[in-house]
Structure 1
Amino acid sequence: MSSTWLVTGATSGFGRLVTERALATGSHVIAVGRRKDRLQELVELAPQGGLTAVELDLTDAGAERVLADTVRAAGCLDVLVNNAGYGLFGAIENIDAREARAVLDTNVLANLAVLRATLPALRLAQGRVVQTSSLIGQFAWPSSGLYAASKGAVELISEALAHEVAPTGVKVTIIEPGTFGTEFGANLRVVPPTDAYTPTVGKFLTDFSALPPEAFGDPYAVADAVMSVVALEEPPLRLAVGADAVELIRASLRSRLEELDRWESLSLKGEVRSA
């Protein structure tokens, strides 16, 4: 049976690949993106009537209304892939308020606007919500503070949402990709570190830029993962994609557990005293 999908950030990267995959299954896709030329490419790729192109900046004040009207016009919505995002890397101190606001507006507030616009239809369909996060939605590297904070917010928003919509039959999955070869790296904003952060942020950025091509995974793996979880009756809340994501998230969780255990006596010291 065909279904209706809404994909944000549909004109490049994971969003483009998921859109192509969904079209290949015979689904109707509402493809949301900012680039008119890329949207036109998708229209030409899709079967006639198979794609609704929405040229939209999700941070615009009227974006939520536009999306809600589009979903109503489509008549239903079965799958949301909330994928649009903006990359910002640099030392915390070196990122000014304007740039910090831009990454949070795009990655958090726009994500929420998309959810508000689509959840009424998704509830009716007992649909699926796929939220694109990152392996650094679970931890942070030097330089990733603002971006990781935005993806960490998406993680916790999505976890709460999963609890809230569970009685309605809507399922939520957070996709946590590792390092993949998409246009993301070419389009992200990097704030050069000042001298104080050269040993940490500067070194990390230099080392990362020197990674060989084989260090970057095949982005089709992420699109395939999205298609797989959408088809599951009981999908996972979180799915790390890529060997590096699995390895590094596992190491981060172990480190946090070890720290919790190491400092448990201090954590409980107040309780012992009050007793």
Structure 2
Amino acid sequence: MNKTILITGASRGIGYETALRLASQNHTVIATARSEDKLVELANSADPGKIIPVKADLTLETGIQKLADSVSKFESLDGLINNAGAVHRESFMDTDLSVFQELMDINVYSIVRLIKALKHKLGNGSHIVNISSMSGYQGSLKFGDLSAYGAAKAAVVGLSEVLSAEFTDDGISVNCLCLGAVQTEMFAEAFPGFEAPVSPQQMGTYIANFVLTAHQFYNGKVLPVALNDPG
């Protein structure tokens, strides 16, 4: 059965590979990011019409409205993967409060805005997957210099758990994946010289399968997806 799934942060890395994997399985993907060139490249890498690129800034109401307009063309939305995010690496004492606010806006408030705008399109049996990090997973070993990022990703965890309870009567499942180290461009920028044990293609395949099937088994779960215990 063909499903319609929206994924944010789809211009590179995990989001890019997840979108390709879903499209290869004959699902329709609404792919969004701020980089139009990369989104067009993504759409051209799949069969015509399988990936619909929508350039949008999720920190702006105009960007959220563009996505709402794109989704309105479909009867319903079967899955929403909130993958977009930003990382900042700096010691806590040197990290300005504005950085905390910026990372909360990109990593957390964008999810809030998007779900509020699209919930009416998410019907019984739909699945919201929020992508967090081991930096926000309680009890995991943490890397230093990621206080703003870790705080934002921990907020994604808490939001996911509450929404799963609130949306139960609507038949909407909400789960949260806390990813470990994946060899993406964003990871390489934050940790130059460090080689992650998982590729974006591997993680993209996992997340694609998860959004399609895991809500049959999980709801309100916060799942660590890491080979070791990185933060």
TM-score computed with the length of structure 2 as normaliser: 0.90
The alignment partner of 2:72 has SS state of helix
Equivalent residue runs for 1:257-272 within 5 Å: none
In structure 2, distance between residues paired with 1:3 and 1:209: 38
What code does the residue aligned with 1:219 have? P
Q: Deviation of residue 219 (structure 1)?
A: 2.6
2:225 aligned partner: 241
Q: Deviation of residue 46 (structure 1)?
A: 2.1
Q: Deviation of residue 150 (structure 1)?
A: 0.2
In structure 2, relative to structure 1, the CA distance for the partners of 1:144 and 1:74 (3 Å cut) is same
2:164 to 156, 162, 165: 162
Q: Are residue 109 (structure 1) and residue 126 (structure 2) matched?
A: no
What code does the residue aligned with 1:182 have? T
1:193 aligned partner: none
2:146 aligned partner: 144
1:221 to 202, 219, 223: 202
Q: Larger Rg: 1 or 2?
A: 1
Contact 1:9 1:15 in 2 (8 A): yes
Equivalent residue runs for 1:157-196 within 5 Å: 157-188=159-190
1:148-171 superposed Cα distances (whole Å, 9 cap, x missing partner)? 000000000000001111122111
Compute the RMSD of aligned alpha carbons: 1.8
In structure 2, distance between residues paired with 1:128 and 1:148: 24
Q: Deviation of residue 125 (structure 1)?
A: 4.4
Contact 1:19 1:31 in 2 (8 A): yes
1:16 aligned partner: 16
Contact 2:56 2:64 in 1 (8 A): no
Equivalent residue runs for 1:121-140 within 5 Å: 121-122=121-122, 124-139=123-138, 140=142
Q: Deviation of residue 126 (structure 1)?
A: 2.5
Q: Deviation of residue 187 (structure 1)?
A: 4.4
1:238-268 superposed Cα distances (whole Å, 9 cap, x missing partner)? 22212114xx68xxxxxxxxxxxxxxxxxxx
Q: Deviation of residue 176 (structure 1)?
A: 1.1
Runs of 5+ unmatched residues, structure 2 = none
TM-score computed with the length of structure 1 as normaliser: 0.76
Q: Deviation of residue 67 (structure 1)?
A: 1.8
Q: Deviation of residue 8 (structure 1)?
A: 0.2
Q: Deviation of residue 71 (structure 1)?
A: 1.1
Q: Larger RCO: Structure 1 or Structure 2 (Cα < 8 Å, ≥ 6 residues apart)?
A: 2
1:10-38 superposed Cα distances (whole Å, 9 cap, x missing partner)? 11111001100110111111000111110
After TM superposition, what 4+ stretches of structure 1 lie above 6 angstroms from structure 2?
none
Equivalent residue runs for 1:44-63 within 5 Å: 44-63=44-63
Q: Which moved more, 1:148-157 or 1:110-119?
A: 110-119
1:224-246 superposed Cα distances (whole Å, 9 cap, x missing partner)? 3223322131225122212114x
Going by fraction, where is strand more abundant, 1 or 2? 2
In structure 2, relative to structure 1, the CA distance for the partners of 1:218 and 1:77 (3 Å cut) is same
Going by fraction, where is helix more abundant, 1 or 2? 1
